[in-house]
Structure 1
Amino acid sequence: MRDLFQEELVGINNDISQMADLVGKAINKATESLLFADREIAERVIESDVLLNDLASALDERCTMLTAKQQPVATELRSVLGSMRIATSMERMGDLAVHVAKSARLRYPARAVPDELVETFRTLGHLAEELTQQLSRLVTNPDVTLAQDIQKADDKVDALHRELFRIVLSPDWQHGVEAAVDVTLLSRYYERFADHAVSIARRIVHVLTGEPYIDTVLH
């Protein structure tokens, strides 16, 4: 029975890794639609979110059935419950990628961010995609050091978020209220995306070590 349980856990981890890959592609394409004011790419990101939602629902059901049949305890129970919560966070990361794509679609054919901030958002997109790649590796090979690397990448996103907020509030801002709202919201989407990545990393460390879990999205 324990062998069957471990096989199921491997399958669940593979599903989560697949979700991380899909989220990475979504935020990459969402950023592309934002930077190049590409409505077609934005639409594809929005439409493809259904697949991610379906995977999250299927994984939740799989974990529920595994818990009912195998009645795991201690570390095994943490693994199953952690997987369910990780899938929920992945789904929310996908939703945030959709928010970016919808912002790009809303301002089409114009670009949703001023020219001088394009490189900053390009960097945010790169960091967000890098976070999903790190998460995929962390799910496959749980490691405290890699989890710490995810925290460092999140710190970079936070710094860019603060810088964009400072720019928007500066008396030198020349792009009006609408653009200020767009930039603030978009920056917040990337910041929350990174927060969810850190939350997942901490969840994995909790499963691995039993250390108390702190939700970065709420704190």
Structure 2
Amino acid sequence: MRVIYNERMADLAHLLGEMAGLAGSAMDRATQALLQADLPLAEQVIGEGDRIAEMIADAEEKSFALLATQAPVAGDLRQVVSAIQIVNDVNRMGTLALHVAKVARRRHPNHALPEAVNGYFAEMGRIAVSMGQGAKEVLESRDPERAAQLNQDDEAMDDLHRHLFTLLMDRDWKYGVAPAVDVTLLGRYYERFADHAVEIGRRVIFLVTGELPPDTDTES
């Protein structure tokens, strides 16, 4: 039974890592679609949402099957519960990438972003993709030190988000209400993506050490 449990947990960890990698890849392409007003690329990201959804369902099924058939306790139970929570975070990351792609599609053939903020979103996209890859690595390696490093990237994302908000509040903003709304929503999508990657890191630290680091905001 122990061998079976370990094999199934390893399978689940691999699946979660693959999903996190796909979420990062989706955000990468969604960012390109946003910056370049690339409709085919946006449609590609949106179309692949079903694949992530199928993997989410598979991961949930595997997690609950472990609870039902293996009756884990102590450290084993901690691993399974953490995996269930991580499934939700990866799901949100994939959904946020889809939101970015949908904004790019909705505004096509126009650019959703004023040129003045392109640099902000190029950097936010870079950080988000890096954090998606980091989450994948952490899920596969279960390295608590690497998991803790995700916080540093999140701080950089938060700084960019604050600066972006300052730009929106400046009375010299000349691009109108609709672009301001898009920029506000998009900035939030990238910020939340990073927050969920950090939450994955927290959960990995918990399942390895049994100690949960201080909470981060992941209400959506």
Match of 1:102 in 2: 102
In structure 1, the residue corresponding to 2:113 is in which secondary structure? coil
Q: How far does residue 137 in structure 1 lie from its aligned partner after superposition?
A: 1.0
Q: How far does residue 216 in structure 1 lie from its aligned partner after superposition?
A: 2.9
**What do the CA deviations read for 1:79-101 (whole angstroms, capped 9, x no partner)?**
11111111111111111001100
Q: Distance in 1 between matches of 2:24 and 2:219?
A: 23
Q: Distance in 2 between matches of 1:148 and 1:172?
A: 39
In structure 1, the residue corresponding to 2:48 is in which secondary structure? helix
Match of 1:36 in 2: 36
Match of 1:79 in 2: 79
Question: Any conservation in 2 of the 1:59–1:87 contact (CA below 8 Å)?
Answer: yes
Question: Any conservation in 1 of the 2:202–2:212 contact (CA below 8 Å)?
Answer: no
**What do the CA deviations read for 1:51-88 (whole angstroms, capped 9, x no partner)?**
11111111111111111111001111111111111111
1:169 alignment partner AA = M
Q: Distance in 1 between matches of 2:161 and 2:27?
A: 16
1:124 aligns with 2:128: no
RMSD: 1.3
Question: Any conservation in 1 of the 2:195–2:217 contact (CA below 8 Å)?
Answer: yes
Q: Distance in 1 between matches of 2:195 and 2:55?
A: 21
Q: How far does residue 206 in structure 1 lie from its aligned partner after superposition?
A: 1.0
Match of 2:8 in 1: 8
Match of 1:217 in 2: 218
Identity %: 39
1:195 alignment partner AA = D
Match of 2:172 in 1: 172
**What do the CA deviations read for 1:137-182 (whole angstroms, capped 9, x no partner)?**
1111112221221000001111101111000010110101111111
In structure 2, the residue corresponding to 1:72 is in which secondary structure? coil
Q: Distance in 2 between matches of 1:45 and 1:127?
A: 18
Q: Distance in 1 between matches of 2:140 and 2:21?
A: 12
1:217 alignment partner AA = T
Q: How far does residue 12 in structure 1 lie from its aligned partner after superposition?
A: 0.3
Question: Any conservation in 1 of the 2:205–2:212 contact (CA below 8 Å)?
Answer: no
In structure 2, the residue corresponding to 1:211 is in which secondary structure? coil
Q: Would the alpha carbon gap of residues 215 and 167 (structure 1) be closer, same or farther in structure 2, given more than 3 Å must change?
A: closer
- Deviates most, 181-190 or 142-151: 142-151
Runs of 4+ in structure 1 off by over 4 angstroms are none
Question: Any conservation in 2 of the 1:30–1:97 contact (CA below 8 Å)?
Answer: yes
Question: Any conservation in 2 of the 1:17–1:139 contact (CA below 8 Å)?
Answer: yes
TM-score (normalised: structure 1) = 0.97
Q: Distance in 2 between matches of 1:2 and 1:59?
A: 20
Q: Distance in 1 between matches of 2:136 and 2:39?
A: 29
Question: Any conservation in 2 of the 1:198–1:216 contact (CA below 8 Å)?
Answer: no
